[in-house]
Amino acid sequence: MTEQLRELEARALAGVASAATPEEVEAIRVDVLGRKGRLAAISREMGKVPPEERGLIGKLLNQAKTSIEAAIAGREDAFEQEKLARRLDAEWLDLTLPPPGVRPGSLHPLTRIQREIEDLFVSLGFTVLDGPEVESEYNNFDALNIPPDHPARDMQDTFWLENGMLLRTHTSPVQVRGMQTLPLPLRMIAPGRVFRNEEVDASHEHTFYQLEGMMVDREVSVAHLIYFMKTLLAGIFKRDVTVRLRPGYFPFVEPGFELDIQCLICGGSGCPVCKQSGWVELLPCGLVHPNVLRLGGIDPGEWSGFAFGLGLTRLVMMRYGIDDIRQLQGGDLRFLRQF
Ligand code: PHE
């Protein structure tokens, strides 16, 4: 029986040591240590053992059981370790890579240009004013000398609200607010979002951005206007742009001008942005109409001024070579990430 036990232990230990899978180990455990296993069978034979040998056999039995259990536990442990090592190998992580999905943000091109122009004008002594997007008919039209029957007031051009207010169609109502709030002489700019009831296409949006400017002082003339517009364009484009000045009509300026720049997308040969003309209207401007000064509480006999309404959206398109206005507010990240 002693022999039998030693042999059983030796075979079990060898079997555990050479087992290739946890299943093989488990099979040995059941076969040797299980309730109906080999060790149990041997201990059932104990009755037949002469009493003086029982102590020794019992001891050997326990030793065999303990050593086999220990071997099994060790082997199972080894399998766990191997499994973990394989998993660590397969799921290898490079912790130095930037996390996916999180990218540094960037400013929208409109914001960038707006801030640049604000800096430029602040350095020239201008104040930056803000005005509401929902405006009164008075500030958007009447106070700007736009007559009651002017086509711009039409539903086709203006978004009217049910309470009689409107979405401002230009930033010029902020001129009105500036004349009411700023002391004279005044220099102000007002960047902002404006709205027109437009059919949307590559060069028209119902929502776009302008930057209004106004200066009121004694003896302001067209020479001042031209000086500031040249300074503005040089600051924006940082290169030579071809410009032309045409007479332009706006009820709130007299004389009024259209300052066009040669299209920077096509270089003047014609494209959708310049409507094939080679020129882009960028900077309507003029001397403030005496009626507007008067309505703003300013004596036109003593003071004069110039005003301009820069098309910020158009400017951004020129600057970055964007040929479809819809991209600017389309929210497509592939577009925005280029800036
Ligand atoms: N408010 C005018 C527009 O939106 C532009 C403009 C502003 C023209 C100031 C002259 C002076 O069309």
How far apart CA 250 and CA 285 sit, in angstroms, is 9
Given this model, what pLDDT does residue 235 score? Answer: 87
Q: Which atom of ligand 1 is nearest to the CA of 256?
A: 10
pTM: 0.69
CA angle 194, 131, 121 (to 5 degrees): 90
Helix (H) or strand (E) holding 113: helix 109-123
| Residue 169, pLDDT above cutoff 80 | yes
Phi-psi region of 306 (alpha: psi -120 to 50; beta: other; left: phi over 0): beta
Given this model, what pLDDT does residue 70 score? Answer: 92
Mean pLDDT along residues 73-95: 89
- Whether the bond between 255 and the residue before it is cis, its omega within 30 degrees of 0, is yes
Closest C-alpha among 210, 189, 224, 212 to residue 303: 224
Mean pLDDT along residues 119-123: 96
Q: What percent of the chain shows pLDDT beyond 70?
A: 100
Q: Radius of gyration (Cα) for the chain, nearest Å?
A: 43
Task: Please give the residue that has the higher pLDDT: either 22 or 138.
Answer: 138
Encode pLDDT of 249-290 as tens digits.
Answer: 999 999 999 999 888 888 899 988 788 999 988 899 999 999
Encode pLDDT of 214-249 as tens digits.
Answer: 999 999 999 999 899 988 988 888 877 788 889 999
Residue closest by Cα to atom 10 of ligand 1: 285
d(CA 24, ligand 1 centre) in Å: 88
Mean pLDDT computed over every residue of the chain: 91
Residue closest by Cα to atom 5 of ligand 1: 309
Given this model, what pLDDT does residue 120 score? Answer: 95
Mean pLDDT along residues 300-309: 98
Q: Where are the domains of the chain?
A: 2-90, 109-336
What number does CATH give the domain 109-336? 3.30.930.10
Q: 285 CB under 6 A from ligand 1?
A: yes
| Residue 103, pLDDT above cutoff 80 | no
Q: 289 CB under 6 A from ligand 1?
A: no
pLDDT band at 55 (very low <50, low <70, confident <90, very high): confident
d(CA 172, ligand 1 centre) in Å: 6
